[in-house]
Each structure stands twice: as structure tokens, then as C-alpha cells.
Amino acid sequence: MPELATAKAIEQDLARRGYGIRTGYSNGTFPSGHRHRGFEILYLHSGSSEMIIGQNLFTLFGGQAVFLHGGASHCARSVSADYTRTALHFNPDITSSRYTDFLDSIAKNGGALYTLRPAGANRFLWTTNELMSISMSDHYPHHVVAGLVDLILAELQDADLQAPTPPAIIREIIDYMQNHATRIDALQQLYSAFFYSPSHIRQLFKEHLGCTPQHYLLQLKATKACELLRSPASIDQVAREAGFSNVRSFQRSFKRIMGVTPSEYRNGIQNRELITAPQTMQPKLPH
């Protein structure tokens, strides 16, 4: 569960050298909002992911990046089975003063989504690779780190700023699924609620989100289950309230999405090995 293990490491990196960077596969296992110091840039190499920042939902695909202030409650959730990403966290004081207004605007708005042009994406990846190499060294040349972070900010300023706007029908279907995720028959009700065949809805999801409606629904149910597992409710009760037909199905699906069993997840919370969120967010799609 790589995502759950990083929050403490983020704070340690920021305190130690002013930035931290990680790259690799992720299954988006921050089910609830978390916060940290500094700023964060999440770049998606492949796959698709949702980033919830405050009350806004961003859908990312390969070649896109979300830039956000760590003080805004946020979480990532996979849409496809896994996605490959690079996450850069940094303190604002390591950057040049010419980016102060840019950082202030991100802090004020919570976050922004960017699509990097091919040449810009190549420069972005080269720069993050350099930062990765420096992070594995015992010496941290601060002026070099500051220059590299400035280059990344320059690439974002030059990238295409855009609001996450999936097709209207996708927004409507996702909205419906979020409001009915805990129903056992949610998928069947979904197909009945829209004047589209199940095969056409599956095609839309594959084309725009890179996953099936069933997988997306399981993500929503697992998110709800994570919230319930923070309460004294029994595993049986959690399964029912999260919309699973039986405990066995719940345990199998939860392990598939989260990488651990419900009991292991609950034990991790009790042992403070997982993130405990200050609030439960209700994401909404942009219009």
C-alpha cells in the first residue's frame, strides 16, 4: 500500500531537504482527505486517476498534472486498475521569488489541472529524474534543487490550463453512481436509469476513464467501506452499509481495490499506520 505509507515520509522529506519526489505504480489508496505542508505536483505517466481537492473532482490521464497546495484536503483514487505517476512535494521557500504569484494563485484556488505539450512533458520528466537522482544522494545542492523546481514551475505555467470536463453523459453517470454506490443493485439501477445500453455505457467508461463501470463502482464502495472501518461497526455491518451482497464478496473486492483485507486496514488505522482524515469529503464534478 505505497500511498498510505508516504504521508509521514512527505513531512520528513520537506523538513530534511525542502522537497520529496516519488515515482512508480499506484492504486490510489488514499480513501479520505489528507493534508500536508508545502505544495504537490502529481504527474500521470499512464492510466487514469481521480484527484479530489476540497470539493472538486479532477480526472487525470497520461500527460496531465495536478498542482495543488498541500493544505487543501485531497486524495487520489485510481480509475483504471493502476496508474503510473510521479509525485513532487516541495516547500515554497526553495523556489524563486518570481513564482510567488503563481504559488499564491494555486494556494487560493486549491489546485489546477494542466496538460503538458509533448516537448514540455519531456523536459518535465527530465527535470523530475534529476531531482530523483539528487534525492538519493547524501548531498543536496540547494541552488541546483531550487533551479530544477523553478524549471518545473515554468513548464506548468507554459502548459495548457484546463478544467476537467469529461462528456456530459459521463458526468451524469458518475454523479448517479456516487449517489447510489451503496445500493447492492447499483449497477443494474444505473443501466435502467439511462437511455443507453449496458454495452454503450461500458464503452464510454473504457474510452474516457479507462475502466469498466463495475470497477468504478467497486472503487466507490471501497471508499465508503474505508470510512465505515474507522467506526466500531462489525465487518458484516460495514459490508452491508457499503453495498456489498455478502461479506465474502466484500472482503474479496476490498482486497482487490485496497491491497489489504478490511481487518488489516482497520488494524492499520488503530496502529496509526494509515492516514486518519480530519473530514469526509463529498466530491462534486465541475460544470
Q: At residue 214, what are phi and psi to the nearest 5 degrees? A: -60, -45
Same domain, 147 and 44: yes
| 203 and 144 in a common domain | no
What residues make up the domain containing 35? 6-161
Read off the CATH number of the domain in which 224 is found: 1.10.10.60
- Region of residue 240 (left: phi > 0; alpha: psi -120 to 50; beta: else): alpha
pLDDT given for residue 50 in this prediction: 79
Amino acid at site 221: K
End-to-end CA distance of the chain: 33
CA-to-CA distance for 80 and 113, rounded, in angstroms?
19
Q: What is the pLDDT of residue 189?
A: 86
pLDDT at position 28 is: 54
Are 127 and 144 contained in the same domain? Answer: yes
86 in Cβ contact with 22 (< 8 Å): yes
> Residue 119: what pLDDT?
85
pTM of whole model > 0.75? no
What order do you get walking across the sheet with 39-46 strand by strand? 19-26, 83-90, 39-46, 64-69, 111-115, 160-161
Specify the pLDDT at position 276: 35
Last residue of a domain, one of 128, 161, 194: 161
Name the helix (H) or strand (E) containing 66: strand 64-69
- Is 197 found in the same domain as 155? no
- Tell me how far apart the alpha carbons of residues 21 and 38 are, in angstroms, rounded to a whole number: 13
Residues 14 and 126 in one domain: yes
pLDDT tens per residue across all 287 residues of the chain:
344 446 678 888 888 889 999 887 765 555 567 888 899 999 988 777 778 887 777 878 888 899 999 988 888 877 655 678 899 999 999 999 999 999 999 998 878 999 888 888 889 999 999 999 998 887 778 889 999 999 999 999 988 776 555 666 787 888 888 888 899 888 888 888 887 888 888 888 887 777 788 888 888 898 889 889 989 999 999 999 999 999 999 999 998 888 889 998 888 766 654 433 323 333 334 33
- 220 Cβ neighbours under 8 A, 6+ residues apart: 177, 178, 181
Same structural domain for residues 18 and 125?
yes
Q: Is 282 within the bounds of a domain?
A: no
Q: Which long-range contacts (CB under 8 A, 24 or more apart) does 130-139 make?
A: 131/19, 131/21, 131/88, 132/21, 132/23, 135/13, 135/17, 135/19, 135/20, 135/21
Is residue 63 domain-shared with residue 96, that is, in the same domain?
yes
pLDDT at 1: 37
